[in-house]
Each structure stands twice: as C-alpha cells, then as structure tokens.
Amino acid sequence: MEKIDPLSDHLQLQRFALGQEVEFRGKLYTVSLRTTLASGEPAIVLQGEGEQFVIGAAKFLAGVKEKTGGSNWAR
C-alpha cells in the first residue's frame, strides 16, 4: 500500500483550478472538484465526455499533463 501524505498532496492539487482542462491518460478532462477520500487521501473529480470520476491525488499527479496556455502541455 502506498503512503498517503495528505498535506503535500493537497498542496500539489491546489495548482489545478476548478474548470481547468487537463490531459489524463490521453484524454481531456475538466477539474470539477478537489476533495478528500474516506481514507484521508486528497482526491480530485474529473469530468470528460460522458464520464465523471474521482481519483486519488497520487494517481492523478502521476499521470496528469496540465495545459499551460496555447497548445503547450507541461507535466
């Protein structure tokens, strides 16, 4: 089981604004909510075409690419 570092993960998620578009696993999603799972792990809610889901911060941060203006993507 991976170690949960709630404070660090919450701080890292703060850079993702609500409504921001991100690329996750090759698809575009909109950040709709930052939250905390029952385990205490920070999480984020992503919404895409016909789907919405919650993902823990560690998995999200490991696979996200954020849009930084224009068509450039940063990791």
Does residue 27 form part of some domain?
Answer: yes
Does residue 61 form part of some domain?
Answer: yes
Does residue 22 form part of some domain?
Answer: yes
Alpha carbon distance 51, 41 (integer Å): 22
Does residue 1 form part of some domain?
Answer: no
- The Cα-based distances of 54 to 8, 28, 68 in angstroms read 19, 15, 23
CATH of residue 51: 2.30.30
pLDDT tens for each residue of 9-57 = 778 888 999 999 999 999 999 999 999 999 888 999 999 999 999 999 9
pLDDT at residue 1 is higher than 70: no
pTM of full prediction above 0.75: yes
5-17: b (≥16 Cβ within 10 Å) or e: eeeebeeebeebe
Range of the structural domain that residue 50 is part of? 6-69
Does residue 75 form part of some domain?
Answer: no
How many domains is the chain partitioned into structurally?
1
* Residue among 54, 58, 50, 57 at smallest CA distance from 32: 54
